[in-house]
Structure 1
Amino acid sequence: MRQVIVLPYQSEWASEYSREADQLREVFGARLKQIHHMGSTSVPGLAAKPIIDILPVVDTLEGIEQFDGRMEALGYEAKGEFGMPGRRYYRKGGDERTHHIHLYAAGDPEIMRHLVFRDYLRTHPEEAAAYGALKEQLATTYPLDIEAYIAGKDAFVKELEHRAIAWKNAHD
């Protein structure tokens, strides 16, 4: 059973992303078009589960499984789509889950959704603080129930996503 742990923001999360991104650049080479730090660990000041979420963007998903062996050599477990068509998911750290890779092909709308959410929280510290407080409260309430933790923040996250998209549209 995974314990739900939410920590105050750790500055080393950014350097951990950078180290991992360098390794992913070597793995995917010319197929890699962009790479982004996403999720709560990518927002300075935001409390988060200590899992580095990385969003690599490749030219196409066609044949991308050829890299699974190299990802496994870095300690990742290849999970395929893992419930999300158009994504390839890898995780590292066993039960501790230290890193999640959400790999998409260029042009997938999920890329923008993730980046807009991140950028909105980076530029709206009051929203990030409210989100962090909710996550800390849920982790305290459901320390051994990741499903309840996720369900508890679902409505809040959806509302944040709506505000983030409206904010992006107003600034385009």
Structure 2
Amino acid sequence: MSRKIEVVPYNPAWPHLFEEEKACLKQALPDELVVSVVHIGSTSVPRLAAKPIIDICLIVEDIAELDKYQEVMAEIGYESWGAYGLPGRRYFPKGGDQRSHHIHAYQFDNLSEIGRHIAFRDFLRNHREIASTYGEIKQTAAAAYPEDIESYGDYKDEFVKKVEKEALKWLWLNK
């Protein structure tokens, strides 16, 4: 059974929901493993329409060490889906059919993946018109493909890749 793809207006509660989950993760995992817990994705961009799922970048000291904590992650509601198509990542969705959170975990030195997520987020936070366009694209994609997550992603792909490139350049130009 496929889940309906829903893109909703920005919810000011999303940052608070992230902070609650960050605290939960930091309590569940050892301090020596967790380097940082970062809010990423559309719910981290004020005023941006999004699927109401909190995306989290969990940055760890050693990605192989994180694999030893699958039972702990399950205890706090996360399924372990392994790399899920991206070498060097560990992916953990929470909420089953009522998905509420996604964790994208990376080892601290996976700069390309971590940097891509953070640059995209910060670029959208600083370029409202581009964020607005992205929100419209997501709403159009959700309306066109309400139960087809692959087509939804494909519809956004060209725009996302273009903006990611701009975001990475912007990041370096503003350092």
Q: How does 1:33-52 map to 2 (within 5 A)?
A: 33-52=35-54
Partner in structure 2 of residue 27 of structure 1: 28
Partner in structure 1 of residue 153 of structure 2: 150
The code of the aligned residue for 1:111 comes to I
Q: Which runs of 5+ in 2 are unaligned?
A: none
Q: Does 1:124 align with 2:124?
A: no
- 2: distance between equivalents of 1:9 and 1:158? 22
The code of the aligned residue for 1:164 comes to A
Partner in structure 2 of residue 166 of structure 1: 169
For the residue of structure 1 that corresponds to 2:10, the secondary structure is: coil
The code of the aligned residue for 2:124 comes to L
What is the Cα deviation at residue 41 of structure 1? Answer: 0.4
Q: Does 1:81 align with 2:88?
A: no
What is the Cα deviation at residue 157 of structure 1? Answer: 0.4
Runs of 4+ in 1 over 2 A off after TM superposition: none
Q: How does 1:99-110 map to 2 (within 5 A)?
A: 99-109=101-111, 110=113
- 2: distance between equivalents of 1:135 and 1:112? 22
For the residue of structure 2 that corresponds to 1:76, the secondary structure is: coil
Q: Given that residues 35 and 55 in structure 1 are in contact (C-alpha distance below 8 angstroms), is that contact kept between their aligned partners in structure 2?
A: yes
The code of the aligned residue for 1:149 comes to Y
Q: How does 1:11-26 map to 2 (within 5 A)?
A: 11-26=12-27
The code of the aligned residue for 1:137 comes to T
Q: Given that residues 27 and 67 in structure 1 are in contact (C-alpha distance below 8 angstroms), is that contact kept between their aligned partners in structure 2?
A: no
- 2: distance between equivalents of 1:116 and 1:93? 27
**1:57 counterpart (47, 56, 59):** 59
For the residue of structure 2 that corresponds to 1:11, the secondary structure is: coil
What is the Cα deviation at residue 96 of structure 1? Answer: 2.2
The code of the aligned residue for 1:130 comes to T
TM-score, structure 1 normalization: 0.97
Partner in structure 1 of residue 99 of structure 2: 97
What is the Cα deviation at residue 64 of structure 1? Answer: 1.6
